[in-house]
Homo-oligomer: A and B are copies of this chain.
């Protein structure tokens, strides 16, 4: 699943009927903006877990819902800077509360 940041709701009046009235959110995946179906009620600024592939359909409510990216959870605490440092090879500090790792 991807770790994305919610940017804003997306309005698309002319869309296929299968999309029903579910909310669509613009989310930021790294530096790319994508559209996700919101299954948890996220708000702009939230860090969220987005599921893709065929699992996105069931996560959106039914096997036949045409989503390939669905917001399935809001992350309690996420520090993108600590995440970047970790990705750059600095020692992880899994025992510390998330959000403070690497920031002093």
Contacts and interface: CB of A to CB of B under 8 A. Distances in A.
Interface of A: 1-3, 7-16, 18-19, 24, 26, 28, 30-36, 39-41, 44-45, 49, 51-59, 63-70, 72-77, 83, 86-88, 92, 94, 98, 101
Given A33-B86, A58-B66, 13 more contacts: A8-B98, A10-B75, A12-B74, A12-B76, A14-B73, A15-B72, A16-B72, A32-B87, A33-B83, A53-B68, A55-B67, A56-B68, A66-B72
Copies in the complex: 5
Contact of A64 (B24, B56, B58, B68): B58
Contact of A92 (B7, B16, B53, B57): B7
Given A40-B14, A73-B14, A73-B15, A87 B55 contact: no
A41 to B, nearest CB: 8
A16 B59 contact: yes
Contacts of A72: 15-16, 18-19, 66
